[in-house]
Structure 1
């Protein structure tokens, strides 16, 4: 079994962190595209265009071509949404990890390392919208190292850090299309609280939401036992 260790971020990890995060987020483009196709607005648009062209041309060729172009455009749009998100993250906190996490109170950034290589990341900081809560952020694991318990170890690291700092709750947000992440958090005892609408127009139209999860911390040994039981 491949071993790994969780440690705090060091300056030399910067490029590896960006690579892991970019690769992890880019994987969700296909599921994002499928999510778009399931939305009533997209289905109505596709059906309307195909029916209108079929009626006007009386030939299946033009409607088929239009459908192919619309699907290609939708696939590009899904890629754009994730690419834009990655770009913003890399310019903001992931471009300045030392300042954003390591030099601020109650913030931290960790990596999981395996055979000298950074294979996963996670971070946390005080939640801006909810006092007394610590927010888990930037969870990403290389596909080649999933299924080894790395994500669970990183979640446990954040929970321990939050407990040490006196926080009672860890919260996080994950997109509606990240099904594996949702299953992970729920298996660890996180409760699904609700959904948050992304303010961008395209995201609203396509019902692309963020799901909020919360984990209520217990103190000391009891808290660690609860987390361990959830892992098992």
Structure 2
């Protein structure tokens, strides 16, 4: 399979939005799994089982924890689904205007011919930011098709962004990712990204953050990201 990485074209919009939705929503189950295997949520589940049993109802011992598990899954689903809806409604609705209107911003797609049809198999964006006299790039919207994982495409896409930043003399690359994205975290670390612990938001949302040296990195512990919609939250970076 010959993969080509190029700038986004308006004709790419539908396949790009479809791939973006798939890429974000696939984190719902890992988020739910992380939540339900955490000490806090295991304790709550066990407590509900015991409560149902003490009430003298075998059915209650099943229904109460079952309802709790369903609620947690719903919150995990809504967390990511609402994120997707918001992005599709805002910046992803106008990719040329938000990612291609300035010379130091860009949006790339990776395409290849699969079974005689040209398909979009990956995407990534870069937005240049300014903080005082420092100019740096923020890597955004990195999505690789599930059918194209472990083929080096993520590495190539990330390297494309890094090279773009170097050419423009930017001081660093910053990106945001979550603990559910273990493969992505490993990829970024291979590229030299380093984790930096950041303070939690007042909403107690945990995140993982990275900065790339030379063109420094950061991390926020992701405690109960999936529970963000319940009581904790998801991922972010600066």
Deviant stretches of 4+, over 3 Å? 38-41, 127-131, 195-199
* Structure 2 CA distance for aligned equivalents of residues 64 and 36 of structure 1: 19
Of residues 204, 208, 213, the one that matches 2:210 is 213
Of residues 77, 82, 88, the one that matches 1:90 is 88
Pairing of 1:31-180 with structure 2 (within 5 A)? 31-57=30-56, 59-115=57-113, 116-127=118-129, 131-180=134-183
Structure with more of its chain in helix, by fraction: 1
Runs of 5+ unmatched residues, structure 2 = 216-238
* Structure 2 CA distance for aligned equivalents of residues 73 and 196 of structure 1: 28
Deviation at 1:137, TM superposition (A): 0.5
Secondary structure at the counterpart of residue 180 of structure 2: coil
Cα offsets for 1:21-66 (capped at 9, x unmatched): 1111111111000121234443343233222222122x33211121
Runs of 5+ unmatched residues, structure 1 = 219-232
Aligned partner of 1:27 in structure 2 is 26
User: What TM-score does the superposition give when structure 2 sets the normalisation length?
Assistant: 0.81
Deviation at 1:196, TM superposition (A): 5.9
CA, structure 1 residues 142+186, in 2 after alignment: closer, same or farther (shift >3 Å)?
same
Pairing of 1:10-21 with structure 2 (within 5 A)? 10-21=9-20
CA, structure 1 residues 69+212, in 2 after alignment: closer, same or farther (shift >3 Å)?
same
Greater mean alpha carbon deviation, residues 93-102 or residues 72-81 = 72-81
The answer to whether the 8 A contact 1:176-1:209 is kept is no
Pairing of 1:190-229 with structure 2 (within 5 A)? 190-195=193-198, 197=200, 204=204, 209-217=206-214
User: What TM-score does the superposition give when structure 1 sets the normalisation length?
Assistant: 0.83
CA, structure 1 residues 196+125, in 2 after alignment: closer, same or farther (shift >3 Å)?
farther
The two structures, once aligned, show a CA RMSD in angstroms of 2.0
Aligned partner of 2:227 in structure 1 is none
Aligned partner of 1:222 in structure 2 is none
* Structure 2 CA distance for aligned equivalents of residues 19 and 198 of structure 1: 31
* Structure 1 CA distance for aligned equivalents of residues 130 and 141 of structure 2: 16
Deviation at 1:127, TM superposition (A): 3.7
Secondary structure at the counterpart of residue 212 of structure 2: strand
